[in-house]
Structure 1
Amino acid sequence: MKKSVWLPAVIAPVVVAGAVAAPALAQAAATPIAGSHPTAAAVIASIAESSDARYSGKLTQTSALGLPELPAGAGGSSLEGDASDVLGLLTAPHTARVYVDGASKQRIQVTEQLAEQDLVRNGDRVWTWDSKDRTATQVTLPSRTADAPAAGTTTPTDVAERAIDAITPTTTVSKPVATSVAGHDAWLLTLTPKSSDTLVGRVQLAVDQQTGLPLRASVTAAGADDPAFQVGFTSLDYGAPAARLFDFTPPAGADVTTKDLSDVDPGAARGHGDGARGHDHGGATVSGSGWDTVVTLPAGTGATKDTGSDASGLLDQLTTSVDGGRAVQTSLVSVYLTDDGRVLAGAVPVAALVAAAE
């Protein structure tokens, strides 16, 4: 069964519901943390200073999104293959080992029962490895890129940097308060949406007081007390990891794919724009702004009743019928699949997606 596009459409907004959807960190000056009572802007700005950090640690990702529970055995094989893997990202906790040696060397290992997934970056070369499928992919990055590739487990740095990129006047930012994460002193910032139409209640970022490294990020649904999504370090040691950790050779018999992106313009690949209504991002249309942003994928990119019995069965179990299509609403994000094949997603109620589709 091929992975349906609408399932990643659920994941992406969940991971960045409090970041890409619009936390505002206004006027963040490029200065390090100073004194015992830094400003929120200084704490956020210190994150940039951590790009050359060297460390090893363990990350834990948890989520409680309120997805409908699938009856045991229902849908037959609809939970096999990629779809079950994607659902696992939404519902099950994950632990990863992380090794970082500056901006160009990273390794992330996600270990599950009898399987392991690795992402290894060494300069402009990136390897991904899935021991379950015995598949490996080598990617050659654009020569001018400074960004690490996306991995199965999102790090606090990812969430925090996207929050900085989404500066708008839509969010209240708290004064930093002292906390501790994985034995390290940190500053805790709380970002609260001003919009009453979003599903997100608040985003919290914990930033190391000494290094500026984001140590924990969480997103809490409106009206809830506990985070619906959280990723953070449970252990962290500073210092350069062993160089051998950033070397990877696929095992004998592995199915290897190569992709050369060395000639791609990094700026063009990432895209530009401020999220204004109607802006196009590689086929997806972004409407609204801030926490009320809605992303629309054109017809032909989502799962429909014609995608096969397995996909259709899974679709029926996870979604409910609404005017003009089917939809699922988690505690942080909603996804709406229209009868004409479009997919809309956002950190807003389903009714807002139905209205945006008209």
Structure 2
Amino acid sequence: MKKSAWLPAVIAPVVVAGAVAAPMIANASSDPIAGTNPSAADVIASIAKSSDAKYSGKLEQTSDLGLPELPTGSGGSSLEGDASDALGLLTSSHTARVYVDGADKQRVQLTQQLAEQDVIRNGSEVWTWDSKERTATHVTLPKDAATPDGTTTPSDVAKQAITAITPSTTVSKPKDVRVAGHDAWQITLTPKSSGTLVGTVRLAVDQQTGLPLRATIEAKGQDDPAVQVGFTSLQYGAPAARLFDFTPPSNAKVETKDLSDAAPNANGDGTHRQGERSGDEPTFSGKGWSTIAELPAGTVDRSSLGVDATGLLNQLTKSVDGGRAVQTSLVSVYLTDDGRVLAGAVPVSALVAAAK
């Protein structure tokens, strides 16, 4: 799995919280927010007008969830594989180049140690590329489909967070800030629930365009951000068209997925309509910021893990009633003995209780 595929997991608390909360923006003004004293509703509503924005920029993502340093194997070599990639994202900072030309042309480049990973969308065609593994995936999307999950941007965090406004959240008055050389309005979302690990979510939104420029999530009781993703540079204007074209090298391993003829009972992006389940989607319990997501039995088979993966799992988790669990400063994950996975921005004890 590519590093970019792990990024949505970093903001799981916001995703979970937004799953059942009601939006605030139904009656919000759609006027520009470049003037003085906008309301929080005005700032939030302005995000919608940035969907067709054209820009190039550099993103930086930092994570400090209180996890231990990446463990090393015998001889001092780092543990390799998906678990190593996940830990790398959760314990260190990463940068990415982002190119956007409206709603259906995007490119994200994550570079690290002479390797590059890309997600490129051009209309209905999506490519992912890993230069280190020399692997590419080509996906043909249904018409009007959303881009598959990949790299998280401030817009992603903002859209998920603003659905958790009321009645579970207190919203501050907008504050004037500067991000990547642009004037922005910053609002702070504070959960009302005492049962969540989330302390605050701060969103900085460009005053002229409505584009979210930075998102910061702080854990309860901590001053430093647990997760922050934001632009360090940003230039408006259409990127060069060639950036959205991709041809894999001749020696690359290519996997092809054609989703253009998605089943009529799907939503157009391969997901199912409400009430229709394929059997492997998460179920949810709780509400607001204390929502818990649960994946079904058999999701994780610990008996099939290799020696390295088992050692890493044992180091990161602790034994609890009915399985193993890890609680970071912001999110907890519980692996039950029957292979279920429960996660949420709640203490481990809440996950154990929900699993019974």
Using the size of structure 2 for normalisation, the TM-score is 0.90
When residues 196 and 266 of structure 1 are mapped into structure 2, their CA distance, relative to the original with a 3 A threshold, is same
When residues 254 and 13 of structure 1 are mapped into structure 2, their CA distance, relative to the original with a 3 A threshold, is closer
When residues 163 and 32 of structure 1 are mapped into structure 2, their CA distance, relative to the original with a 3 A threshold, is farther
Conservation of the 8 A alpha-carbon contact between 2:25 and 2:44: no
Letter in 1 for 2:31: P
1:319 corresponds, among 317, 320, 327, to: 317
Partner of 1:31: 30
Conservation of the 8 A alpha-carbon contact between 1:187 and 1:209: yes
When residues 24 and 189 of structure 1 are mapped into structure 2, their CA distance, relative to the original with a 3 A threshold, is farther
Letter in 2 for 1:21: A
Structure 1 CA distance for aligned equivalents of residues 129 and 7 of structure 2: 21
Conservation of the 8 A alpha-carbon contact between 2:8 and 2:149: no
2:326 corresponds, among 328, 334, 354, to: 328
Report the Cα offset of residue 269 of structure 1: 3.4
Partner of 1:81: 81
Give 1:180-329 correspondences, 5 Å limit.
Answer: 180-264=178-262, 265-266=266-267, 269-271=270-272, 282-329=280-327
Give 1:53-132 correspondences, 5 Å limit.
Answer: 53-73=53-73, 79-132=79-132
Report the Cα offset of residue 306 of structure 1: 3.7
2:14 corresponds, among 18, 26, 34, to: 18
Q: Secondary structure at the match of 1:99?
A: strand
Letter in 1 for 2:267: P
Question: For 1:153-172, what per-residue CA distance to the aligned partner results, in whole angstroms no more than 9, with x for missing partners?
Answer: 31001111122344541000
Question: For 1:81-128, what per-residue CA distance to the aligned partner results, in whole angstroms no more than 9, with x for missing partners?
Answer: 222112212112110001111111101100000200011110000010
Q: Secondary structure at the match of 2:25?
A: coil
Letter in 1 for 2:40: A
Q: Secondary structure at the match of 1:149?
A: coil
Unaligned runs of 5+ in 2: none
When residues 16 and 38 of structure 1 are mapped into structure 2, their CA distance, relative to the original with a 3 A threshold, is farther
Letter in 1 for 2:69: E
Structure 2 CA distance for aligned equivalents of residues 335 and 74 of structure 1: 28
Conservation of the 8 A alpha-carbon contact between 1:191 and 1:202: yes
Conservation of the 8 A alpha-carbon contact between 1:96 and 1:110: yes
Letter in 2 for 1:269: G
When residues 70 and 13 of structure 1 are mapped into structure 2, their CA distance, relative to the original with a 3 A threshold, is closer
Structure 2 CA distance for aligned equivalents of residues 18 and 103 of structure 1: 23
Structure 2 CA distance for aligned equivalents of residues 62 and 27 of structure 1: 29
Partner of 2:344: 346
Letter in 2 for 1:262: S
Partner of 1:171: 169
Q: Secondary structure at the match of 1:198?
A: coil
When residues 208 and 20 of structure 1 are mapped into structure 2, their CA distance, relative to the original with a 3 A threshold, is farther
Note the aligned Cα RMSD (angstroms): 2.4
Conservation of the 8 A alpha-carbon contact between 1:142 and 1:266: no
Structure 2 CA distance for aligned equivalents of residues 117 and 187 of structure 1: 32
Conservation of the 8 A alpha-carbon contact between 2:63 and 2:228: yes
Using the size of structure 1 for normalisation, the TM-score is 0.90
Report the Cα offset of residue 191 of structure 1: 0.3
Unaligned runs of 5+ in 1: none
Partner of 2:143: 143
Structure 2 CA distance for aligned equivalents of residues 74 and 12 of structure 1: 31
Letter in 2 for 1:295: A
Question: For 1:157-213, what per-residue CA distance to the aligned partner results, in whole angstroms no more than 9, with x for missing partners?
Answer: 111112234454100011111101000000001000000110000001000000000
Letter in 2 for 1:255: K
When residues 273 and 76 of structure 1 are mapped into structure 2, their CA distance, relative to the original with a 3 A threshold, is farther
Letter in 2 for 1:33: P
Report the Cα offset of residue 70 of structure 1: 4.9
When residues 298 and 324 of structure 1 are mapped into structure 2, their CA distance, relative to the original with a 3 A threshold, is same
When residues 104 and 27 of structure 1 are mapped into structure 2, their CA distance, relative to the original with a 3 A threshold, is closer
Q: Secondary structure at the match of 1:340?
A: coil
Report the Cα offset of residue 266 of structure 1: 3.0
